[in-house]
Amino acid sequence: MNIRIRDIFRILRLKVPVLRSLKVYIFVLMLIIGILPCIILRISILSNYEQRAVSLRQSDMMNQYRIIADHLVNYNYLQDTSSDVINAELEQMSTLYDGRVLVINGNFKVIKDTYSISEGKFMISEEVIRCFKGESTARYDDNNGYIEMTIPISEQIEVDGTKLSAVRGVILASVSTDSIVATMDILNRTALIMQIIMGILMVGIVIFISRMLLRPFNRITEAVREVKDGFTDEPLSVPDYLETEHIVEAFNELLGRMKVIDDSRKDFVSNVSHELKTPMTSIKVLADSLNQQPDVPVELYQEFMQDITEEIERENRIINDLLQLVKMDKTQAQMKVEAVDINALLESTLKRLRPIAKKQDVEIVLECIRPVTAEVDGVKISQIFTNLVENAVKYNKEHGWVKVLLDADHQFFTVEITDSGIGISEEDQKHIFERFYRVDKSHSREIGGTGLGLAITRNAVLLHRGSIKVSSVEGEGTCFTVKIPLTYLK
Ligand code: ADP
């Protein structure tokens, strides 16, 4: 049952958006807090009044009838009901309290009824019997609006020198509580009117307060919209509450991050355009100079065509590297993870690169401390090794060397690629992983660099949740250390 009500409430909240509004919650809550005590107060005051009025009336009547009961004994009324004094007294009481009085003798026979209906009849009710035992009773019937009470008519007798009271008869009196009910009606109506006025006032106040309380949140929404619409990209400030401050802080952080991403995107686009344009310009210059000369010697023609081919190759390399970088930027879903023999992978990579190294008179040495098998994307890891070893060869000196060292512990495998090359200054070390960053642009271009190799390498390492570090001394050499977890962590 509980679950069903909760489900209904959940569906309602989904279907009726107003039920999810904080403003509505605050409104309802404050209204309940404001109006509920008024209602409780009204009900408790009225019921208190009723109890008090009834008990006052009861004790008042009880006293009066006790006096009359004494008179009844004195006038011997139970034997002879002809006493005008007593009859007048009973009638007076009946009229005064807008009720009925019955006098019952020891045989349970009604000897006097102020309504003259039950005289001569017998009255054996529980209350009467209890009263004959000496106990006065009083009962309030709020449904029918009367109080009924029994008062014993007792006589003092002396038995063996001790005074006792003997119940000779019973007065059964009922009295209407219409006057109490009428007073209560008036009180109730007045309280209700007051409550309605209070309720209306309360609704106004609550609407005002709930609006005021939520104003900072509206301000956040407006400010965020302004940022979204591009009117401003200034950090927001809504310090009204701690909560709004936290939301705004988080939003400003997000805004800052988005700005960085946007700036880097802009940089990237402008770099890409520039890099792609350079070979194109060279091609155009070469082609134009060929076209402008009427009789180009075949040798010059061949030389220029060779240059044009090289520029096209360069353009091709940049495009390939860019495509690779974009692919790496995508999510983990692109990873083809499998158990890879890292030693074998390194050996085959180096085998491919050795001829190039030989051309530059650079020797490549591989040292494997232990056999390593890791859960990795083989193609991406091979790309990492290729880029790093290629760089170590490219930026080396004559008769230089490249040392590749593979080691592992129980969690990671580490590959260190050390070269005897030109080294990288400390300042440049901070930037070499950025896209299109090259320490010496013309040298890098000469040897076919695109400035994207290390950016691709870093992305591939991060996709494996690994790390890459560089340490270098200018003029002496460089060491790149790649650390990759043996088991792939999603
Ligand atoms: P590139 O395509 O120009 O080689 P990379 O992103 O691979 O681009 O490298 C960025 C720059 O870092 C290179 O231009 C080069 O100046 C420097 N660099 C990279 N590896 C080495 C190395 N082993 N020794 C010296 N400089 C290096």
- Residue 149 forms beta bridges with which residues? 138, 173
Which of 165, 180, 195 delimits the end of a domain?
180
118 and 110 Cβ atoms separated by less than 8 Å? yes
Asked if pLDDT for residue 149 goes beyond 60, the answer is: yes
Ligand 1 nearest atom to the CA of residue 422, by list position: 25
How many structural domains are present in the chain?
3
- The verdict on 248 and 341 lying in the same domain is no
CATH code for the domain of 291: 1.10.287.130
Within a domain: residue 24?
no
Give backbone dihedrals phi and psi of 452, rounded to 5 degrees, phi first: -110, -15
| 3 state SS of 139 | strand
Q: Is the pLDDT higher at 226 or at 429?
A: 429
Domain membership of residue 249 as a residue range: 233-330
256 and 233 Cβ atoms separated by less than 8 Å? no
- The verdict on 390 and 419 lying in the same domain is yes
- The verdict on 304 and 173 lying in the same domain is no
Ligand 1 pocket, 244 CB below 6 A? no
CA atoms within 13 A on the CB side of 118: 16
Ligand 1 pocket, 180 CB below 6 A? no
- The verdict on 309 and 450 lying in the same domain is no
Q: Which helix or strand (DSSP H or E) is residue 167 part of? A: strand 162-176
Ligand 1 pocket, 97 CB below 6 A? no
- The verdict on 85 and 123 lying in the same domain is yes
Q: Output the CA–CA distances (angstroms, integers) from residue 314 to 279, 309, 320, 321, in the order listed.
A: 7, 9, 10, 11
- The verdict on 356 and 440 lying in the same domain is yes
- The verdict on 293 and 396 lying in the same domain is no
Q: Which of 388, 454, 457 to mutate to test the pocket of ligand 1 (most atoms within 8 A of CB)?
A: 454
Ligand 1 pocket, 453 CB below 6 A? yes
Residue 399 backbone class (left: φ over 0; alpha: ψ -120 to 50; beta: rest): left
Ligand 1 centroid from CA 18, angstroms = 60
198 and 31 Cβ atoms separated by less than 8 Å? no
- Residue 103 forms beta bridges with which residues? 112, 171
Q: Which of 391, 472, 473 to mutate to test the pocket of ligand 1 (most atoms within 8 A of CB)?
A: 391
Q: Which amino acid is at 175?
A: V
Which of 296, 330, 364 delimits the end of a domain?
330
CATH code for the domain of 150: 3.30.450.20
How far apart are the C-alpha atoms of 453 and 435, rounded to whole Å? 8
- Band (pLDDT 50/70/90 cuts) for residue 224 is confident
49 and 184 Cβ atoms separated by less than 8 Å? yes
Ligand 1 centroid from CA 184, angstroms = 96
How confident is the model at residue 458, as a pLDDT? 94
Ligand 1 pocket, 450 CB below 6 A? yes
Ligand 1 nearest atom to the CA of residue 456, by list position: 6
Ligand 1 pocket, 451 CB below 6 A? yes
How confident is the model at residue 330, as a pLDDT? 63
Weakest-pLDDT range from 397-401, 415-419, 447-451: 447-451
Ligand 1 pocket, 421 CB below 6 A? yes
Ligand 1 pocket, 93 CB below 6 A? no
406 and 343 Cβ atoms separated by less than 8 Å? yes
How far apart are the C-alpha atoms of 127 and 108, rounded to whole Å? 12
* Angle subtended at Cα 102 by Cα 96 and Cα 108, rounded to the nearest 5 degrees: 165
Contacts of 50 (CB under 8 A, 6+ apart): 142, 180, 184
Within a domain: residue 23?
no
- The verdict on 317 and 363 lying in the same domain is no
- Band (pLDDT 50/70/90 cuts) for residue 117 is very high
* Angle subtended at Cα 229 by Cα 227 and Cα 230, rounded to the nearest 5 degrees: 65
State the DSSP string of 348-412.
HHHHHHHHHHHHTT-EEEEEESS--EEEE-HHHHHHHHHHHHHHHHHT--TT-EEEEEEEE-SSE
Q: Which amino acid is at 52?
A: R
Within a domain: residue 305?
yes
Ligand 1 nearest atom to the CA of residue 455, by list position: 6
Contacts of 468 (CB under 8 A, 6+ apart): 433, 457, 458, 461, 480, 481, 482, 483
Q: Which of 322, 360, 444, 456 to mutate to test the pocket of ligand 1 (most atoms within 8 A of CB)?
A: 444
Cα-based torsion angle of the residue sequence 438, 443, 449, 453 in order, rounded to the nearest 10 degrees: -40
- Band (pLDDT 50/70/90 cuts) for residue 3 is low
Tell me the per-residue pLDDT of 240-288, one tens digit each, with 9 for 90 and over: 889 889 999 999 999 888 888 888 888 888 888 988 898 899 999 999 9
Q: Which amino acid is at 63?
A: N
The token pair at 419 is 């070269």
- Whose CA is closest to atom 8 on ligand 1? 451
- Band (pLDDT 50/70/90 cuts) for residue 8 is confident
Tell me the per-residue pLDDT of 33-64, one tens digit each, with 9 for 90 and over: 888 888 899 899 988 999 999 999 999 999 99
Ligand 1 nearest atom to the CA of residue 449, by list position: 2
Within a domain: residue 202?
no
Ligand 1 nearest atom to the CA of residue 438, by list position: 14
The residue-averaged pLDDT of 9-17 equals 81
Within a domain: residue 95?
yes
- Residue 158 forms beta bridges with which residues? 163
- The verdict on 324 and 345 lying in the same domain is no
171 and 153 Cβ atoms separated by less than 8 Å? yes
Tell me the per-residue pLDDT of 431-473, one tens digit each, with 9 for 90 and over: 999 888 888 877 777 777 888 999 999 999 999 999 999 999 9
Within a domain: residue 10?
no
Within a domain: residue 186?
no
Ligand 1 centroid from CA 363, angstroms = 19
How far apart are the C-alpha atoms of 454 and 391, rounded to whole Å? 9
Ligand 1 pocket, 438 CB below 6 A? yes
How far apart are the C-alpha atoms of 379 and 240, rounded to whole Å? 54
12 and 19 Cβ atoms separated by less than 8 Å? yes
Ligand 1 pocket, 389 CB below 6 A? no
Ligand 1 pocket, 275 CB below 6 A? no
- Whose CA is closest to atom 14 on ligand 1? 438
- Whose CA is closest to atom 11 on ligand 1? 438
- Whose CA is closest to atom 18 on ligand 1? 391
Ligand 1 nearest atom to the CA of residue 396, by list position: 24
Ligand 1 centroid from CA 392, angstroms = 8
Within a domain: residue 381?
yes
How confident is the model at residue 1, as a pLDDT? 55
401 and 363 Cβ atoms separated by less than 8 Å? yes
Ligand 1 centroid from CA 326, angstroms = 20
Which of 180, 203, 219 delimits the end of a domain?
180
Tell me the per-residue pLDDT of 184-204, one tens digit each, with 9 for 90 and over: 899 999 989 998 998 899 889
- The verdict on 152 and 250 lying in the same domain is no
How confident is the model at residue 490, as a pLDDT? 74
Asked if pLDDT for residue 353 goes beyond 80, the answer is: yes
| 3 state SS of 100 | strand
- The verdict on 356 and 403 lying in the same domain is yes
- The verdict on 290 and 351 lying in the same domain is no
Ligand 1 centroid from CA 436, angstroms = 10
Ligand 1 pocket, 400 CB below 6 A? no
Place of tokens 């070499």: 432
Q: Which of 353, 401, 438, 481 to mutate to test the pocket of ligand 1 (most atoms within 8 A of CB)?
A: 438
Asked if pLDDT for residue 69 goes beyond 90, the answer is: yes
